[in-house]
Structure 1
Amino acid sequence: MCGIFCHAGTGSANIEAGLRAVAHRGPDHTEILRDGIVSLGHQRLAIIDVSDSGNQPMKSRSGHVAIVFNGEIYNYKELKRSLELEGALFVTGSDTEVVLEGYDRHGTDFFNRMRGMWAFVLHDVRAGKLVYARDPFGIKPLYYAIRGRDIYFASELKCFKAAGLPLEPDPAAYDLFYALGYFVAPATPYKGVSKLRPGSVMSWDIDNATYLELARVSRFMDGIPLPTLCTPAEALDALDDSLTKSIEAHYVADVPVSLLLSGGTDSSIIAAISKKLDKQPTAYHIAVRGSEDTQYATDIAQHLGVPLIIEQLSEESLTDEYAKVWDILDEPTADISIIPTALVYGRIKGRAKVVLSGEGGDELFGGYLRHGLLSQHTRVDQTDAFNTVLNAGMFPQRFGLSYTNPLVQRIRAGLLGSGMVNDLVGAYLASTRSIDYPLADTAVRNTLAAFYEAEYDPRIPPSLAFDTLAYLPNDLLQKSDIASMASSIEARVPLVDRYLQTEVSAILRAVDIRKATEGKKILKQVLERYLPPDLIYRKKKGFGVPMMAYKTHAFLDDFEKACVFHLAHRDAFAVASDLVHLIASKGVRPIIARKYPRFAFALISNWKCFADSGRGG
């Protein structure tokens, strides 16, 4: 796991400053490779082959290709053996060299054989181009900015600012942000700055200053044997085996591996199978006030014999972390759980370099409460008559937020759950909007419908599609990466894996998929092999923070300032009249902060990300 900052072109940029902005991602080694008008910068966090031979930027044996790589390839030893049979010679024990030599021999087709997480930039000297790619789930981030005939690459947006690139907000990206609370790739909050789409492989012609998408690496692996199932018991055996293989693969490292244990199903299955594999991880848990998770995590750790370190989220620690998180975030978000996530990684810092996390289990196995509703819908359209009529009854003023809008939403939920309406986009928005008001609803629906059409794979159940393709990479994995890397920790996600995704898809198609994914039933049935039922079956809870329960005055004060900021910069941030009505009244703002803290946090984070640029700071 590492940090990247690169530049190709004749324009001016402070490469050293841009790279220093992600020094936390890789404190073990810093290096910049310059070749003509191409500069490849790398900050290394040494995980596999921790010797100096694994340092980057790295050149191929032929000298024709150089690379800066962020991530891990879990099947690199298998790929290495295959390349050695072809005559390849290796001088390091790193997975980076395998990617380098694989591309030098097979081109971009080699990326389809990789199992892991990655974001990298290759300089192909012979072809006169840069090749840049991202793993198919979007576990690792990669941003790029085009300025005239120059292109820049970075692991975090803050690199561009540190390097001296002028950045301006992109109002076209904000309709979806206000609705969902995150930016969907390739969109970012900045004009001319893009987030590489998951799985995308692109090239930049250095002389002609043009770019082209070469390929998309699928979330699914081709050519692997899929389980043949006959009975429910065989399905559970196959799933248990698939989970075991994925979790074992994610232990590939030359440093100790730890894990997060929330007490929920996903982290519990990782802990249980880790013990089965005779791994010896230390587990970490963050205790949130009023949550039963801590007792469950404690009982699960005791049952499995896993050492558990509990960190308390006190009012003081939350206040401190709330102040610190703005140094970490450089992409606005509505996800308040960035605070406890950053806090727990901050407490782990110095104790572990690699931590396993349960992200992705809900998207793979249908763990969110909304998935029951979404399973009733398959039609994806830009418009829906019921939706249009109901939206007309919603108002952005105080009375609407307090009374009429919640009533309309209950009517909407009733219709969506009655079978009278088939509207997957509407059902998803009704379940996930950050505020009970259809801001820019037509534009949002159009964007989501087009996104579904472009990204959907029939091997993904429609009820899980938006969470798998949009929410997981652009919110959850983005949060996991930036929070963990701020503390120089590599977060790995065994439930977000190409082999596992492929095998689970086959298993679910062989059983009653709706019943199997109802409340993650099939995953919990596997967990019964390791834990007693009373530690498995309980009400689903997310990793959220009740900000008002902690009496965080800074949150309320900052929301006031964020509202003023957005009202002062309406055009820059697409603050349309409805949004003006929502945030202009001082009497309405406390209602929003209390009832819709995600929306409030979205505005605060956007203000914080832009305030120091001189735009209304």
Structure 2
Amino acid sequence: MCGIVGVLTRDGSAVDEATIVGLRDTMIHRGPDDAGVWRREPQGNAALAVRRLAIIDTSDRGHQPMANEDGTVRVAFNGEIYNHAILRAELERRGHRFRSHCDTEVLVHLYEEHGPSMVEQLVGMFAFAIWDEAAQHLLLARDRLGVKPLYWLDDGSRFAFASEIKALLPLLPRREVDPIGLWQYLTFVAVPPPRTLFAGIAKLGIAETMLVTRDGPQPPRRYWDPIANRTCFDGEAVAWERELQGQLLRSVERQMMSDVPVGAFLSGGVDSSTNVALMSRLSATPVNTFSIGYEGRAAYNEFSWARQIAERFHTAHRELVIGARDFWQAVPGVIHHLDEPTGGPVNVSVYLLAQLARDAGVKVIHLGEGGDEIFAGYDQYLRIEALTRGAWRRFRRLPRAVRQVVSTTAGPLMSLQPRLEIRREAMLRATRDGGRLWWGQAIGFYSREIERVSTSRLRRLVDRGQPGGLVLSTAAEADAAGARDELDRIIYQDLRLRLPEQLLMRDDKLTMASSVEGRFPLLDQPLVELAMAMPFEEKVRNGVGKHVLKRVMSDVLPEDLLWRQKQAFRTPLQHWLRSELAGPVERRLRTSAIHELGYLDREAVQRLFRLHLSAKGERSYQIWALLSLCLWFDYWIAGRELTPD
């Protein structure tokens, strides 16, 4: 795991080495173990730099940037290649010689053999750049599920890329908000590729490669699709279970590959418990596990379930208990390390858990992300699927005028309760031909709500139908790839947007903030491809999601844990906003410099906060989204220091 950065000048001018070293060292937290820089000589028009967190072959032989024997192929690499030993053996049979045991070195030799298509042979999480001296181009690549981020900018005279936005900010003439990115953020609580919240900075999408020459970047190429590349397997229930059982164990085993201590976050849910159970089976020593809870908020704590798993598998278990003050004091660090806001208040919990792991000497941590997506574990998935087959279909058959009357009268009655938001939005969209019901698992503001908190100035600058258009185009891509049913489309939408740009982006940056590498066994490529091949009835039975995973783990995990009602990994923010954090949050929302832009309606934001305070409506997720946006703007755009009140 590393932090990488590079520059290719388009006008042939030389890259200043001190400049690229300065960009690199904004990411010391991503690589405190080593640092390297390479500049093309004598021209100096291309440069790569790396901060290294040593995980595999911790010796100096893993120093980056790394080159082939004659220096014609050089790589700056962030991530892990789990099948590097298999690839290395094949390359050695072809005559390639290796100087280290690092997975990084596999990349340069694999590129020599296959060029840009080499990415299709990689199993792992990665973002990398390869300079090809003969072809005079740069190849950028991001992994299939988007575990590793990769940002870039092109100002006409130079192209630059980095693992984090903060490494590119010194290259911007000025920091400005992208209004379309802002509108997308308010909708998805993340900005879909290729945009970011910073005007002039873009990001590579999941499973994309991009070639860059002196003429500039070429259009990205997507080399993998979760539906089109699913496993060809048509078995009975027992066969699915047997195949999944083996693939789960192989996934965990692959991702335990490390020359440094490995641990796991343990919430007590099915996903993290599955991970810990299989890690314990494969480990000769007790697995380090870490859990977080909240003072005086037993309903939000899963300590009893986590302790049950820790005792069952004899882990070295540690717990962290935080209150509202601890939470609030950690927020500035979260804003700094995320670079742009994304996701919910669980961000803070991940940030603090990573610190706990680091202090325990654990350098690699397993997280349970992905299980709810690939195995249909979210209750909301099941409600949407049922609506699509039932009420949604019947409602769409009504005359348009009738649909409009129903949505106009019933919609406002549902607006105070987020759990009814799906049905409300279903009514609104059913009045329009072609409207999609599912927009994502964690939407911040739907269209009409954004119009209430935004100003006419922002609305004039953006295509207000753009988020809906993105949803429609993603659904169309799912169908083109071979989606079988609505559940396929729902999962596809979240694998393309929410999972990589909200959850994995959060986990990568907030674990790396403590120089800890996050890994995701349930997102191992072969496992995802198998899960995407499973039919609906394997994942959902009798209204219970994730059914096949629970059946497979029934002889390993306690029955009461497996079949209990799903409890999301969450915080007591909704209560803290009505008590300890009410004053500080209200002040930040009211006094933020973002209001000088004229994009947000300050009074509408205050009304939303007062609605939550009154307990007539639960709006903590939306308030967090707005608070994160305000704090981000104050820190990264306006240059204000973020000090807890």
The verdict on a shared fold, with TM-score over 0.5 as the criterion, is yes
> Any unmatched runs of 5+ in structure 1?
none
CA contact (8 A) 1:371 1:463 kept: yes
Q: Which residue of 2 aligns with 1:439?
A: 450
Aligned residue identity for 1:329 = L
Residue 191 of structure 2: SS of its match in structure 1?
A: coil
Counterpart check, 1:243 vs 2:256: no
Which one of the candidate residues 180, 201, 206 is aligned to 1:193?
A: 201
Aligned residue identity for 1:339 = V
Give the 5 Å matches for 1:255-274: 255-274=260-279
Residue 139 of structure 2: SS of its match in structure 1?
A: strand
CA contact (8 A) 1:31 1:56 kept: yes
Counterpart check, 1:339 vs 2:348: yes
Q: Which residue of 1 aligns with 2:364?
A: 354
Count of paired positions: 600
Counterpart check, 1:2 vs 2:8: no
Give the 5 Å matches for 1:112-511: 112-162=120-170, 165-206=173-214, 208-219=215-226, 229-230=235-236, 232-280=237-285, 281-288=287-294, 289-290=297-298, 291-350=300-359, 351-376=361-386, 377=388, 392=408, 405-406=415-416, 410=420, 413=423, 426-429=436-439, 432-435=442-445, 438-439=449-450, 442-454=465-477, 457-458=481-482, 461-506=488-533, 508-509=534-535
The CA distance in 1 between the partners of 2:500 and 2:183, in whole Å, is 19
Q: Which residue of 1 aligns with 2:114?
A: 106
- Could you tell me the TM-score, scaled by structure 2's length? 0.85
**Structure 1 residues 430 and 247, CA, compared in 2 at 3 Å: closer, same or farther?**
closer
Shift of 1:454: 4.0
Q: Which residue of 1 aligns with 2:455?
A: none
Counterpart check, 1:525 vs 2:551: yes
**Structure 1 residues 86 and 22, CA, compared in 2 at 3 Å: closer, same or farther?**
same
Shift of 1:524: 1.0
Q: Which residue of 2 aligns with 1:16?
A: 21
- Could you tell me the TM-score, scaled by structure 1's length? 0.88
CA contact (8 A) 1:556 1:593 kept: no
**Structure 1 residues 511 and 593, CA, compared in 2 at 3 Å: closer, same or farther?**
closer
The CA distance in 1 between the partners of 2:631 and 2:130, in whole Å, is 34
% identical aligned pairs? 26
The CA distance in 1 between the partners of 2:409 and 2:591, in whole Å, is 27
Which one of the candidate residues 618, 626, 644 is aligned to 1:595?
A: 618
Aligned residue identity for 1:439 = I
CA contact (8 A) 2:347 2:510 kept: yes
The CA distance in 2 between the partners of 1:431 and 1:201, in whole Å, is 27
CA contact (8 A) 1:260 1:283 kept: yes
**Structure 1 residues 148 and 554, CA, compared in 2 at 3 Å: closer, same or farther?**
farther
544-553 or 99-108: which moved more?
Answer: 544-553
CA contact (8 A) 2:210 2:220 kept: yes
Q: Deviations over 1:473-517 (max 9, x none)?
A: 0100001001100000000000112111122233x1395454399
The CA distance in 2 between the partners of 1:242 and 1:539, in whole Å, is 26
Residue 355 of structure 1: SS of its match in structure 2?
A: strand
Residue 465 of structure 2: SS of its match in structure 1?
A: helix
Aligned residue identity for 1:283 = T
Residue 220 of structure 2: SS of its match in structure 1?
A: strand
Q: Which residue of 1 aligns with 2:629?
A: 606
Q: CA RMSD in A?
A: 3.4
**Structure 1 residues 555 and 101, CA, compared in 2 at 3 Å: closer, same or farther?**
farther
Shift of 1:287: 1.7
The CA distance in 1 between the partners of 2:637 and 2:279, in whole Å, is 49
The CA distance in 2 between the partners of 1:612 and 1:434, in whole Å, is 22
> Any unmatched runs of 5+ in structure 2?
452-463, 641-645
CA contact (8 A) 2:539 2:547 kept: no
Residue 541 of structure 1: SS of its match in structure 2?
A: coil
